[in-house]
Chains A and B, each alone.
Chain A
């Protein structure tokens, strides 16, 4: 507790050292990772929607001239530039989740599954489309047949790459449900299982090109997006709370005097 009472009242700091500088905050790494997420998603949203009109997905049954125009459009070019530069933020946002999953009582197998799922998912689900649309935007010489193939490839990679994300969401959901430390609420675990369901729902995009089960369809895209966006926001809020409530002593980079060994030494007992 700080000695001077005349100061602007603020919440008591866990330790006097931490009261002043935000740079000394031991959770800074997590907070940076955390806040990178909305930045990343907003950027992503900007790139995909108003900038390039890549989202909502264009029709898989578009005519060739439309496809060629789209692939050569100026906006797609700018979108791809931004995407190429910002892609690196994907791992950071996943790191944010994994830091909290690490605290759970479940087997590390869940964490590793999540990690690998996230990695493969990001490569296939984001990197591949980036290449496909980037090729169309940056290399004007391709014939329309090749461009149509790249168009299909890009969208299918983006929406049809369910396997990796299935693993990731299932691992995340199960980890939350089975966790005995209560890091994240149980209902969130169930909500995450629905993420897995939306990935499964995306499977038909490989087969049909029109109607509600195409990659721009009511069932596979719009409904899945509703579930996904709401989940993303909710998980985000829960992660915020989890980081906030994480005891300082538990952190991997906890300051020395808070570490369990130091506490034992001081109190002269063993826990």
Chain B
């Protein structure tokens, strides 16, 4: 059982779960007024990007994958969130 808790994957999971709760609180608190809020949006989107990449890197084992897979998945995260934030800011 302790082996399970000390498994690096479990540690990653704990971080992800904690960060999920944090970003939910950010939205509930800072975003309570349901107005445009660039701080909240930037924070939650960046957190989402980090979470996504951590799942890809650790759970999907891309950290042990050939370079092309690292580049493709990394590129997807980077490209997607850049576009998302750009469209968001451009529309304000």
A–B contact at 8 Å CB threshold (below): no
Which chain B residues have a beta carbon within 8 Å of chain A's beta carbons?
none
